[in-house]
Structure 1
Amino acid sequence: MEDYAQAAHFAQTWGLLYFVLIFLGVLAYAMWPRNRKKFDEAANVPLRED
């Protein structure tokens, strides 16, 4: 039972850190000025009448 508690504690601690780092990476990618044009074009796709 002790192994499970240690594994759960490890997953909760480092898993949270891992997902926070992934979230910050995605946020930085989305907010990077170089990507603005790409996201603006993607936002306008539903409004196009091709």
Structure 2
Amino acid sequence: MNETYRALAEFAQTWGLLYFVGIFLCVVAYALSPRRKKQFEEAARMPLRED
């Protein structure tokens, strides 16, 4: 049982790390996408708008 737990823990650590690195890279690509620039600039000015 101890060896099974160790193998499962190593698998989870390795693939979990790769999964979160992949998610992080997707979020960074989304945030830095040139297509989103206008949308983010509007959102940045939203608190300063007087409706």
Relative to the length of structure 1, the TM-score reads 0.89
Structure 1 residue 3: Cα displacement: 1.2
Shift, 1:45, TM fit: 1.2
For these two proteins, the number of residue pairs brought into alignment is 50
> Shift in Å at residue 4 of structure 1?
1.1
C-alpha RMSD over aligned residues = 0.8
Q: 1:3-30 CA distances to partner (integer Å, 9 max, x unpaired)?
A: 1111111111110011001100110011
Find the aligned partners of 1:44 and 1:28 in 2 and give their Cα distance.
Answer: 22
Q: Once the two structures are aligned, what percentage of the paired residues are identical? A: 66
Work out the CA distance in 1 between the residues paired with 2:4 and 2:15: 16
TM-score after normalising by structure 2: 0.88
Runs of 4+ in 1 over 4 A off after TM superposition: none
Please, which runs of 5 or more residues in structure 2 have no aligned partner? none
